[in-house]
Amino acid sequence: MRLLLPFSSPLSATSPPSFPEHPPPSKIEYSGLAKIFKKTVIGTLTGALSLTLVLSSPIPSVAASIDPYLSMTPPSLSPDSSPEDCPNEEEADTEVLEDDVRPQLVTNEGIVEEAWEIVNDSFLDARSNRWTPETWQKQKEEILSSPIKSRSKAHEVIKKMLGSLGDQYTRFLSPDEFSRMSKYDITGIGINLREVSDGGGNAKLKVLGIVLDGPADIAGVKQGDEILAVNGVDVSGKSSFEVSSLLQGPSKTFVVLKVKHGKCGPLRTIKVQRQVNAQTPVSYRLEKVDNGKISVGYIRLKEFNALARKDLVIAMKRLQDKGASYFVMDLRDNLGGLVQAGIETAKLFLDEGDTVIYTAGRDTETQKTVVADRQPLINAPLIVMVNNRTASASEIVASALHDNCKAILVGERTYGKGLIQSVFELRDGSGVVVTIGKYVTPNHIDINGGGIEPDFRNLPAWDEVKERLSKCNTLQQS
């Protein structure tokens, strides 16, 4: 079983300056999301300071109690189920879970070799180009030529081994660091969701991780529950990211979940008090330029968290209602956050079928093309403001809009963080973070290292913006 656990921290609020002046740098904290592939035990780290977690099996720090689902009334069967379909389902589920969390004995040499194999199978040398399978094999033979007498020594060996790769993002996690990392969620109620195939071409939304003593755990949500509705809204067909956004809300308020335990029920309605108050990363205002002839909607996006897309849509619609016919999206000092939130934000401006981003890596699972799947929210001229602290998810948004002729970029060259990291759990509870892929823009520019060059250093006239976008579209069509 694999579990998606994105990590996101709100940025401190700063008031955007009067447009078009440069805003003061905002206080940036760690945030995170999103891409999973084969052996990944915890998942994918994306963004300048961002991460996504995926667990292949429950671990004590995030797994709920594995007691059977308790109810004062007998479980009710769903219409498409019969008693024969679900014999002793709860007991079977419990046995599997107990099997998953049973500790395994592993030698010090075994832990080192496990870390070595992860790098051997997955590592992408996107910076130094020094890594080869031959030199890596030789290093393994040298390391294992003598006994490793303690677990702490094994961990030191892994650190040194990963350090030799010359990649600042590939690193070792102690058991404590791994445990802390696996506890983060973006729902605000202490659960982590994942779409799981039902075998018939459809997907169910299941709770594949739950924080012990978190709001959902206390209210009675169980690991493995299927989420059917949030506040009365049917979530069929919605992604885990969309539903995580629905679960968000002010601290101390309540959200009502309709859940089903196992294949055959029972169905329960559970009221959960929210704990984490995700702050909106969006601020906006209407500006009058050209002696009041032009109305410009200015939107500042401080980070990409679970509320980014939803609040951006609200801001744009309100600005349109006030008469905005041009838009500025300010991504300066936005270090990224949830990559999936960045991708969903970019899609708001793109035509159906437009490429958002390419991912590249050694493994075929990391070689993907992400495309927009619906018509754009607006077609108005757009400026995206960037600087040398515009990174990761922000660079994905900026490049997608620029390369598809939906926006021009104004400001400074961006940071240049386009690598994808995954977090793998080792058998003693420690872990390794490994670079496994990179992002490439729709125009096939490698973001990492070089960043993205803007079209203008200073704000151009809107007539020049329209002319630039028109020429871009003409070239693209030809």
Which residues are the active-site residues? Answer: 392, 417
Which residues are CB-neighbours of 83 under 8 A, at least 6 positions away? 77
Is the CB of residue 267 less than 8 Å from the CB of residue 257?
A: no
Is the CB of residue 244 less than 8 Å from the CB of residue 306?
A: yes
Q: What 3-state class would DSSP assign to 394? A: helix
Residue 450 DSSP code: T
Pairing status of strand 419-425 against strand 43-46: antiparallel
Distance in angstroms (rounded) separating the CA atoms of residues 427 and 4: 19
Distance in angstroms (rounded) separating the CA atoms of residues 41 and 152: 22
Distance in angstroms (rounded) separating the CA atoms of residues 169 and 9: 20
Distance in angstroms (rounded) separating the CA atoms of residues 250 and 50: 23
410: β partners: 385, 456
**Alpha-helical runs (H) found in 48-88:** none
Which residues are CB-neighbours of 264 under 8 A, at least 6 positions away? 75, 77, 78, 81, 85, 86, 89
Distance in angstroms (rounded) separating the CA atoms of residues 6 and 340: 10
Q: Which of 437, 356, 335 is nearest to 399 (CA)?
A: 356
Helix (H) or strand (E) holding 155: helix 151-163
CA angle, 441 then 4 then 131, to 5°: 55
In Å, what is the CA distance from 380 to each residue of 72, 142, 231? 58, 61, 34
Distance in angstroms (rounded) separating the CA atoms of residues 450 and 169: 17
